[in-house]
Amino acid sequence: MTDVILQMRHITKTFPGVTALDDVNLTVRRGEIHAICGENGAGKSTLMKVLSGVHPHGDYTGEITLDGQPCRFGGIRDSERLGVVIIHQELALCPNLSIAENIFLGNERAPRGVVNWNRTNAEAAELMQRVGLHENPTTPAMDLGVGKQQLVEIAKALSKRVRLLILDEPTAALNDDDSAHLLDLLRGLRDQGITCVIISHKLNEIQAIADSTTILRDGRTIETLDMTADVTEDRIIAGMVGRDLEHRFPEHEPRIGEEVLRIEDWTVHSPTQHGRVVVSGANLSLRRGEIVGLAGLMGAGRTELAMSVFGRSYGIGISGRIFKDGREIRLKTVGDAIRHGIAYATEDRKRYGLNLIEDIKRNVSAAGLNKLATRGWIHDNEEYRVADGFRAGMNIKAPNVSAVTGKLSGGNQQKVVLSKWLFTDADVLILDEPTRGIDVGAKYEIYSIINHMADQGKAVLVISSELPELLGVCDRIYAMSAGRITGQVTREQATPERLMQFMTKVKEQ
């Protein structure tokens, strides 16, 4: 057997109501680049958090051995001491601190508690040299682009004498040049004996760089592929999507009517990164009674597209046209969007969807409160009746509508969010990751609700990272990649492989 640096055996990790990892095994050889693949929600990030001690020992079951030694990490510091360093998807630099300060954050070059700035900056410069970052060590991190910030993170990892470097989607936010540079750097680190575990959605990158690839699906290990043999993208896709579509979705016979919403040439710029185009020239149309999917990998611009349409709640420099029932409309605020019968149920219920300290009743009425009031005066008994109606109709499991939403399970929270939007009488519902963080049984209920919405003549746009879900629920599916709509397939034509090709299509010149 070859030299194994890391073994994770029978790892199981549950969150309230959801099993994120189910008996996962992972073996990483010393000095290789090991890719981890899977759809969003397959458990990749959770697995890496277990490995790096973010989820400490005791939070999961199973065992981790590093160099043959069993490890029980109580936190990130424990894992870092053994040379396991994780770089998260969202970069964790302090924007106001210099590159050098960031590199040695928590690990200061400070004999007897006093920072030695000369040593700090000199050692930082050395590390920056190793990762190919040609900047002044005293430059604040916020003055760097995302690509260079990524390099700072890697330099930071190197400063901790990293042996096993974990990168969670390192190239998701990078442009092609920066990505290429980063991949070169990882090869260089491998040659220096550093083992890398890389989570990536970009299959061409995995093909280019990985020595082996482990595929996760629904919290389980599916297989580990040796990439030195000739592995095609299609082979990886087949592993990622699986073939278990039976009985997970309710039967539905669509009754599709005329077009209700059309978006033309929709372009959105990033509000935080100057000049970055997030959605580019998107065209999209929805018809009554139709469930339309929007597929795409992380960073493809799906949420950004939806939110910018929903009363410009995301983005700047938005251009394009929206037609509702054939007439052009302008949606400058969320209020405008709601008045025109458009609803957007967010992908992040807790941060953007619910007032978690309030009860079900007040969350259900939040967007349509004016319907329950005459001249600003709320009829609270009517409000109760409406909310209780949704509780019964949606099968929200709570003793009554005075239950605080923060205590409900993910599925029930999602039903509250959907109730809120149905109460606004919207006829176009954009549902962003409607089943994220929801267990399988509740997912079935949500799908039934979506079907029911369509049966009532509403147009539903489902944004999802789970291809089986889109294939099981939607009548038609758009695919996005890098801000563009790269393809459209009908239910009959749709296969996971075909969608994944659209979703991973890098811009064609």
Chain contacts with other proteins (rule: CB under 8 A): 250, 310-311, 313, 333-335, 337-338, 344, 346, 351-358, 362, 365-367, 369-370, 373, 376-378, 380-381, 384-386, 388-390, 392-395, 399-400, 402, 404, 406-407, 420, 422-423, 441, 444-445, 448-449, 451-453, 456
CB nearer other proteins, residue 55 or residue 443: 443
Residue in 308, 314, 204, 313 with CA at minimum distance from that of residue 266:
308
Q: Minimum distance between the CB of residue 368 and other proteins, rounded to whole angstroms? A: 9
CB nearer other proteins, residue 199 or residue 401: 401
CB nearer other proteins, residue 98 or residue 424: 424
What's the rounded Cα separation, in Å, for the pair 156 and 104? 7
CB nearer other proteins, residue 70 or residue 393: 393
Q: How far is CA 189 from the centre of its chain?
A: 28
Q: Which two tokens stand for residue 392?
A: 């019964």
CB nearer other proteins, residue 104 or residue 390: 390
| Residue corresponding to tokens 């958090």 | 49
- Measured in degrees and rounded to the nearest 5, phi and psi for residue 180 equal -60, -40
Q: Minimum distance between the CB of residue 190 and other proteins, rounded to whole angstroms? A: 41
Q: Distances from the Cα of 270 to the Cαs of 278, 284, 314, 418, in angstroms?
A: 6, 20, 8, 28
CB nearer other proteins, residue 346 or residue 465: 346
Query: Are the C-beta atoms of 282 and 305 separated by less than 8 Å?
Result: yes
Q: Minimum distance between the CB of residue 434 and other proteins, rounded to whole angstroms? A: 14
Q: Which two tokens stand for residue 283?
A: 């065209």
Q: Minimum distance between the CB of residue 320 and other proteins, rounded to whole angstroms? A: 21
CB nearer other proteins, residue 209 or residue 408: 408
Residue in 270, 245, 300 with CA at minimum distance from that of residue 474:
245
Q: Which two tokens stand for residue 88?
A: 């998260």
Instruction: Provide the sign of the torsion angle of the four alpha carbons 449, 397, 350, 147, taken in this order.
Output: negative
Q: Minimum distance between the CB of residue 446 and other proteins, rounded to whole angstroms? A: 9
Residue in 43, 7, 40, 13 with CA at minimum distance from that of residue 25:
7
Q: Minimum distance between the CB of residue 380 and other proteins, rounded to whole angstroms? A: 7
Q: Minimum distance between the CB of residue 40 and other proteins, rounded to whole angstroms? A: 21
Q: Minimum distance between the CB of residue 58 and other proteins, rounded to whole angstroms? A: 20
Contacts of 110-113 spanning 24+ positions with Cβ under 8 A: none
CB nearer other proteins, residue 34 or residue 443: 443
Q: How far is CA 231 from the centre of its chain?
A: 26
Q: Minimum distance between the CB of residue 439 and other proteins, rounded to whole angstroms? A: 12
Q: Minimum distance between the CB of residue 32 and other proteins, rounded to whole angstroms? A: 42
What's the rounded Cα separation, in Å, for the pair 461 and 207? 33
Q: Distances from the Cα of 216 to the Cαs of 195, 225, 396, in angstroms?
A: 20, 12, 31
Q: Minimum distance between the CB of residue 417 and other proteins, rounded to whole angstroms? A: 9
CB nearer other proteins, residue 15 or residue 384: 384
For the chain, give percent helix, strand, coil, nearest 5: 35, 25, 40
What's the rounded Cα separation, in Å, for the pair 43 and 350? 20
CB nearer other proteins, residue 95 or residue 335: 335
Helix (H, G, I), strand (E, B) or coil at 191: helix
Q: Minimum distance between the CB of residue 352 and other proteins, rounded to whole angstroms? A: 5
- Measured in degrees and rounded to the nearest 5, phi and psi for residue 134 equal -100, 85
What's the rounded Cα separation, in Å, for the pair 229 and 495? 26
| Residue corresponding to tokens 């890697």 | 154
450 CB-near residues (< 8 Å, 6+ apart): 291, 431, 434, 460, 462, 473
Q: Which two tokens stand for residue 381?
A: 């008994």
CB nearer other proteins, residue 104 or residue 423: 423
Pairing state between β 377-378 and 373-374: antiparallel
CB nearer other proteins, residue 152 or residue 403: 403
Query: Are the C-beta atoms of 441 and 469 separated by less than 8 Å?
Result: no
CB nearer other proteins, residue 9 or residue 385: 385
Q: Minimum distance between the CB of residue 10 and other proteins, rounded to whole angstroms? A: 31
| Residue corresponding to tokens 């065209």 | 283
